Amino acid sequence: MDRAAPRRFDGGGPRAFLHRLGHGDEVAHVLTLTFAAGILLLTSGLVYELWVNSHLSRAKFGWLFFWTRTWDPIFDNFGAAPFIYGTLVTSIVSLVIAVPLGLAAAIFLSELAPRRMSDTISFLIDLLAAVPSVIYGLLGIFIVVPLMRTTVGPILIGSLGHVPVLGKFFKGPNYGVGFLTAGVVLAIMVVPFIISVSREVLLTVPREQREAALALGATRWEATWKVVVPWARTGILGSVFLALARALGETMAVTMVIGNDPKIAASLFAPGYTIAAVIANEFTEATGDLYLSALIELGLVLFLMTFILNGLARLLIVATERGGGHPS
Amino acid sequence: MGATTHGNNATAARLAPQVVMSDKTSQASDKDALVRFEISDLNFYYGAKQAVFGLNLKIPKNRVTALIGPSGCGKSTFLRTLNRMNETIRNTRVVGQILLDGQDILQMDVVGLRRRVGMVFQRPNPFPKSIYENVAYGLRINGFQGRLDDLVEHSLRRAALWEEAKDYLHKSAFALSGGQQQRLCIARALAVDPEVLLLDEPCSALDPVTTAKIEELMFHLKDSCTMAIVTHNMQQAARASDFTAFMLDGKLIEHSETSKLFTTPTDPRTEAYITGRFG
Amino acid sequence: MSRMLLIWRKSLNVVMLTLTGVAAFGVVAVLFLILGYLVWNGGKSLNLDFFTQLPKPVGETGGGMANAIVGSLKLLLLAALMGLPVGLMAGVYLAEFGGKTFSYVIRYTTDLLNGVPSIVIGIFAYSLAVLPVRHFSAVAGGVALGIMVIPITVRSTEEFLRAVPGSLREGAMALGASKWRTIATVVLPAAKGGIITGVLLALARVAGETAPLLFTAFSNRFWSPGWGQPIASLPVMIYTYAIAPYDDWHRQAWAAGLVLLALVLVANIGTRVVLSRGGGGRST
């Protein structure tokens, strides 16, 4: 037996490469890799374009851009403060409404509803997430705005308007359009996200956790609220961040109901403006280079806000799925 | 040995190995059988972890060689180096030499090698296609020109599935039972006319009757094909193989004619294993 | 005292659990409210003219949105042509070829791209396809929607390819199929149903996008021949008609909303029903 000296073969090396090339594997690999790398290129291109095209505005206003409250295309003086304020306020209002509602619905679907019912309702709620935002805007204009002007607004002003501290958010003229209306419409839009992610997270909580609490004499609600929800809290927080990122970037529905007035007002009934809405409204009309550049810088700000929130949401959801979410 | 027939008489098959043993010795000693695979100093690594250690083995032509050993002993890993299926796993490495008919398989074109060395897996893995397309798959990808129908029929006959499947050729392969699916996978492997068939615990997911059918099939295939079978079932090794290799912890402990290994093992570890003292 | 406490705990239990149910059904009720209101309002204004006529000038009643319907279809076609190849190929890369680190980077970037607000995608498409040629065009709108199609397609394609059992790949490779042939002839056909579903959902999602079209495809009151001119689309028409001060335009907006929602919901319900039937591709 002529035994050759042991050789190494590791599936690599130029020879193997040539073989695989012959069978098209390397071609397929390189081809798909190119397309995958295309996504990297595209995303970096997006950041690059936002950065470069906002150069004029960044050079002129610097950090002041974030604090300036005027938005004056005629005298080329641009500040982002009213839009950042409007974006944050509408998003916070939407979360104040959507988080309790969404969490409650998610608890019902994961803890109480029979599996079939839970799946059916979740399916319908997922459909709600698929409704285009312009349709929410349409309903916002023709249902929510009149309702806010004639019914909900006067009731809130009449009741909460007299409460100290809280009252100043519920005072002033009520046009129907404004921060609160935009927040309500946004809440309807983000609630499906909170429900479906939270439900998934709640369903991963081990049965034993529930049973342990029930065996100690806890009521169903106590077992849910004091054991199951805390176990899943990181993931639920992740769903909230996801919803917030979506609310910040939402354009059409908000544009249609917020009133489009770049003012900073404490009253939630006052008309306002958001970053996305001002881009949508003024981009095609932006005549000067600086004007356009300022709008693109607003886009950059919006991109960064959602980028950070999506990153955090992703981390939180991954952490829950991996570690059961329980603080260890 | 007799001409290729497609007998499906299970009793005959179960008796067959003993009969053939004597038949073979009258012609030539099994020790003189031509060598198909010659493995020298084979080492195999998953990353830093070594799974096969300095293995030397000859796999004779037109015989069934069984690989036995406790689970995790490296027998499946070893089998999968013979058609280089392990290369599909990341971070693996082979050191050593494997000759197929005197040719180094590590130097060969892997696609050509796998056409010559077919494989049947632990669980039946028919493609989500029709029965016909499953069998024809290997032919199609290898650019076969000619009458597919005939070859599909021939392969199904060799796998003793023709009678059961001929009326359902264009139905989904998933409609078949587990045992039929496994025979379909054998037919699929046979369609490209491999010189060697590697079977990786082909019966572990099947019931005893189906297992018997597949062992019978192996017996008939011996005329045209060399086989190596990994099995955790010692009765199966004893029934269906001509040679048996016993592996433990990645090392080849003992290799000899099946009758000899199961009756007079030379290594105490082999004896311990075949008498059921571990594994 | 402890009896009082028990009563309190029990009532709290009932009240809170009821509230969770109210919340869940309340949200579902919103869906039916939307549907009902749209069907009611849109149905009243929907007629054959809507599908066959061009919009009438301000002041004249009647007319339709035929150009916007065709425009939306053209934009979707462009989005599919530009976005799907990238999405599908990258999905195949992630599922079949990807190394560890690079795949992680790609996945992360894909999620990032998926989270970018659509209006920002619009700015990007504007700087890619409008600025250089200095006019709005169907192509620019297609670029914007195509970019949005990519991340959704990548993730669904990868997911469905990964669901194909590894034993099928081994089976094909053991027969001498090279890797790409294995993918092309066994893996992709096995995942076909799921991948098509993902593609349809991606297209359904961008079909309703408005913001990125505002300053890429813009809009057009007339037919838009070819691909290089501004083009109307249903979502943009809904927007402009809804914020206009004319009652007749509002009616048209409702009709358009109904058509758009019907399209989106049919795509969603259809694909989901197919998927839940286990039509992920396993059966031939």
Q: Which parts of chain A sit beneath pLDDT 70?
A: 1-23, 320-328
Q: Could you say which DSSP state residue A144 is in?
A: I
- Taking the Cβ of residue A1 and every Cβ of chain B, the question of whether any pair is shorter than 8 Å is answered with yes
**Beta-carbon count within 10 A of B23 CB:** 12
Q: Is residue C8 part of a domain?
A: no
Predicted local distance difference test score (pLDDT) of residue B247: 93
Phi, psi of B55 (to 5 degrees): -90, 130
pTM over 0.80: yes
- We report the CATH number of the domain holding residue B54 as 3.40.50.300
pLDDT at position B29 over 50: no
Mean pLDDT by 10 residues, chain C (284 residues): 83 92 92 89 88 84 88 96 96 90 91 93 94 91 96 94 92 88 92 90 93 90 86 94 90 93 91 68 37
Residue whose structure tokens are 């264009």? B170
B148-158 vs B178-191: helix crossing angle, rounded to 10: 130
Q: Is residue C15 part of a domain?
A: no
Q: Is residue B152 part of a domain?
A: no
Among the partner-chain residues A32, A53, A131, the one whose CB lies closest to the CB of C261 is A131
B204-217 burial: b if 16+ Cβ within 10 Å, else e: ebbeeebbbbbbbb
The sign of the CA dihedral C66, C69, C75, C80 is negative
- Total domains, chain C: 1
Alpha-helical segments (H) within chain C: 2-45, 48-52, 66-92, 100-115, 118-125, 138-162, 166-174, 179-182, 188-207, 234-243, 247-276
d(CA C218, CA C210): 10
Residue whose structure tokens are 């998003």? A91
- Total domains, chain B: 1
Closest residue by Cα to residue A309 from A231, A224, A247: A247
Among the partner-chain residues C174, C181, C281, the one whose CB lies closest to the CB of B128 is C281
Among the partner-chain residues B40, B87, B96, the one whose CB lies closest to the CB of A11 is B87
- We report the CATH number of the domain holding residue C126 as 1.10.3720.10
**B128 and C284 in contact by Cβ < 8 A?**
yes
Q: Is residue C9 part of a domain?
A: no
Q: Is residue C125 part of a domain?
A: yes
Give me the domain span that covers residue B218: 33-125+195-274
- Tell me the count of A-B CB pairs closer than 8 A: 36
d(CA A238, CA A319): 9
Q: Is residue C200 part of a domain?
A: yes
**Pairing state of beta strands B64-68 and B92-100?**
unpaired
In chain A, residues with a C-beta closer than 8 Å to the C-beta of B95 are 6-9
Digit-coded pLDDT (tens) for B131-143: 999 999 988 887 7
d(CA C178, CA B105): 16
Count of positions (residues) in chain C: 284
Q: Where are the beta strands (DSSP E) in A47-160?
A: 71-72, 77-78
Q: Give the mean pLDDT of B180-194.
A: 92
d(CA A38, CA C87): 10
Give me the domain span that covers residue C172: 51-276
pLDDT at position B10 over 50: no
**C176 and B112 in contact by Cβ < 8 A?**
yes
Q: Which run of H or of E encompasses A213?
A: helix A207-215
* Surface-to-core class of residue A224, CB atoms within 10 Å of its CB (0-12 exposed, 13-18 middle, 19+ buried): buried
A115-130 vs C247-276: helix crossing angle, rounded to 10: 140
d(CA B115, CA B132): 19
**C27 and A101 in contact by Cβ < 8 A?**
yes
d(CA C211, CA C124): 12
Predicted local distance difference test score (pLDDT) of residue A23: 64
Q: What is the ipTM of this complex?
A: 0.90
* Most confident by average pLDDT, A43-57, B25-39, B112-126, C58-72: A43-57
Closest residue by Cα to residue B75 from B201, B242, B194: B201
Decide: B49 and B102 in contact? Cβ < 8 Å.
no
Local confidence band at B72 (pLDDT 50, 70, 90 cut-offs): confident
Query: Residues with Cβ < 8 Å from A121, sequence gap 6 or more?
Result: A109, A113, C24, C25, C28
pLDDT at position B30 over 60: no
Instruction: Record the tokens describing residue C262, joined without a space.
Output: 């019907």
* Surface-to-core class of residue A273, CB atoms within 10 Å of its CB (0-12 exposed, 13-18 middle, 19+ buried): buried
- Taking the Cβ of residue B143 and every Cβ of chain A, the question of whether any pair is shorter than 8 Å is answered with no
Count of positions (residues) in chain A: 328
d(CA A208, CA A215): 10
Q: Is residue B238 part of a domain?
A: yes
Which has the higher per-residue pLDDT, B276 or C189?
C189
- The fold adopted by the segment(s) A74-323 is MetI-like fold (1.10.3720)
Predicted local distance difference test score (pLDDT) of residue A6: 37
Q: Is residue B11 part of a domain?
A: no
**B97 and A10 in contact by Cβ < 8 A?**
no
**A125 and C113 in contact by Cβ < 8 A?**
no
Alpha-helical segments (H) within chain B: 10-27, 75-81, 110-116, 131-141, 148-158, 162-165, 178-191, 208-221, 234-240, 258-263, 268-274
**C284 and B129 in contact by Cβ < 8 A?**
yes
Decide: A90 and A260 in contact? Cβ < 8 Å.
no
d(CA C23, CA C26): 5
In chain C, residues with a C-beta closer than 8 Å to the C-beta of A222 are 9, 13
Helix (H, G, I), strand (E, B) or coil at A3: coil
Q: Is residue B10 part of a domain?
A: no
- Enumerate the β-bridge partners of residue C63: C55
- Enumerate the β-bridge partners of residue A93: none
